[in-house]
Amino acid sequence: DQQVKQNSPSLSVQEGRISILNCDYTNSMFDYFLWYKKYPAEGPTFLISISSIKDKNEDGRFTVFLNKSAKHLSLHIVPSQPGDSAVYFCAASARVRSGGSNYKLTFGKGTLLTVNP
């Protein structure tokens, strides 16, 4: 049962244009949504997050939009740069049980973004 889905395995855009990466989820108990970026031979690194009580969060060139009714989130990168070429993972967290750090993070399969110069 895949609770976090990234239906596009890859995306190619031109430098300077907008990149839009999409993610769908099924579990309404998720309370935070995150995007991670992964370069080859490195571990994933946190990029941006959004709480389930918000619908938009912006950080520089990166904006995440959340549509709770559609159980959909997206990451917009404007303008896209060649250095943004990486695999982007959508993730969602839910509390496993109360107290302490008891959150479980569920990842999608990732989308390979290629930004062409």
Would you tell me which residues interact with other proteins (CB under 8 A)? 4, 6, 32-34, 41-46, 49, 51, 89, 91-93, 96-97, 100-110
Cβ(113)–Cβ(35) below 8 Å = no
φ, ψ of residue 52 to 5 degrees: the values are -70, -10
Q: Least separation, in Å, of the C-beta of 7 and other proteins?
A: 12
Q: Least separation, in Å, of the C-beta of 25 and other proteins?
A: 13
* 43 vs 60 by CB, closer to other proteins: 43
φ, ψ of residue 55 to 5 degrees: the values are -120, -5
* 77 vs 91 by CB, closer to other proteins: 91
Locate 112 and state its tokens. Answer: 């390979």
Q: Cβ neighbours of residue 85 under 8 Å, at least 6 residues apart? A: 113, 114, 115
Q: Least separation, in Å, of the C-beta of 49 and other proteins?
A: 6
